[in-house]
Every structure is written in C-alpha cells, then in structure tokens.
Chains A and B, each alone.
Chain A
Amino acid sequence: GDSVTQMEGPVTLSEEAFLTINCTYTATGYPSLFWYVQYPGEGLQLLLKATKADDKGSNKGFEATYRKETTSFHLEKGSVQVSDSAVYFCALSDWSGEGGATNKLIFGTGTLLAVQP
C-alpha cells in the first residue's frame, strides 16, 4: 500500500542554519503531498502542499518540491529560527473505497526539529 518515509529525528540545529528534512513516498497513483507541523501542545497545522509533479509548495520560508522521478518531497528552509522548533510530518493523500469514496492522509512518523539560539 501507499506509505511515507521520513528521516528520523531529532534534528538539532543552531539558529540561522540550513534545514533539510527528507521525505520519500510510495504510491500507486498520483497523490498530493503535504507537510504538516505540530508545535508543542498543539494539533497539526498544514505548512505547505503540492498537488502534481514539479510543483513547489512554500510557506513561512519553507519549501518542498514534488519530485516524481525520485518519489521525494524534501522540506527545506534557508535559515531556521528558534520558533521553528516543532515536529514536522510528511503526508500524502490517498483515495479508497468505491469510486474513491474516502479521501485520507497517510503520514510519516514525524521528525522533531530543535533549534538552539
């Protein structure tokens, strides 16, 4: 079945360092891809998304490009801040049931990012 694999954390960086969190996926169709972020004590929030190959999602200085040839959707940011400390989840959309009756997200395990001042 469809699945998402992302790098294990924790990732510890100093402020203003460059961030990459790797994400690869397995899917039989043409999924949409997402990054969600979970700040301490909160639920998951959509960070960015891409719906087709070569699309680039971006938000708050974060970027990720949908690479069909490498089945990847790596998250990057040029200069991280302490406020970026959170757990980051890569996810893909999937349709199941008759005629794609149910839309659901399949998540990776999450990567904890800790940014030190």
Chain B
Amino acid sequence: ETGVTQTPRHLVMGMTNKKSLKCEQHLGHNAMYWYKQSAKKPLELMFVYNFKEQTENNSVPSRFSPECPNSSHLFLHLHTLQPEDSALYLCASSPMAGTGALGANVLTFGAGSRLTVL
C-alpha cells in the first residue's frame, strides 16, 4: 500500500473513553504531522514530528497525546475528550521538516479520521 493511510476512518466515542488514531506512511518520509479540520475554520496544526522527535506542539490540550515510534507511524491517543473536539483529524507526511530543501514543505495527506465525541 502506498501513500498515507489513516485508521479508523470513523470513530464515535464518549467523553470518558480512551481511543487511538493511527497513521502510517509508505513514502519514506521523515516528518509526520497531525492536523485538525473543523467546519469553517482553517486547518489547525497540532503536532509535528521530525525523525521521530516532536518539534512542534501547537498548544494542544493534554487530552490529545501523540506518539511516533518510528518515522513511518504516528498515533494520536485520545482520552476524556469534549464534544467540541469532534472534527476530521488529518495526518500528513513530508520528506523532512527542518531543512530548506524544496520538497520539505510539500505535504502528503491521509484521508482523515472523522471523530465524533458524544
């Protein structure tokens, strides 16, 4: 399988549940990203990982906990979420996150995980 794959595609959870979103890329990229897409808002960058190290946390609440065990996999662990956290969560990857190389800032996105918090 090629590209960026996200699972599950849809998730419904209660505010007391614990769940995880998974992202996997087969592009040989070294940087991975989580974005939140809400209706009528710009995409919000949540986290950036470069060579498995977190390089950006955009003031995300601690109820969202990212994990990057290797350059190909990225997780977003969810616990005690609020209804306003309902959104489409997009994972993306790029060749690298910290250089001036032209391809560094071209992101490849997954199809997203649609999260509904009841």
Contacts and interface: CB of A to CB of B under 8 A. Distances in A.
Contact of B98 (A34, A41, A101, A110): A101
Interface residues of B, number: 31
A3 to B, nearest CB: 8
B97 to A, nearest CB: 5
A102 B110 contact: no
B90 A105 contact: no
B39 to A, nearest CB: 9
Nearest to A90: B42
Given A32-B105, A103-B94, A104-B48, A96 B56 contact: yes
A69 interface: no
B21 to A, nearest CB: 13
A43 B111 contact: yes
Contact of A107 (B42, B96, B98, B112): B42
Interface residues of A, number: 27
A44 B43 CA distance: 11
A27 B58 CA distance: 18
A107 B43 contact: yes
A100 B111 CA distance: 28
A85 B117 CA distance: 29
A89 interface: yes
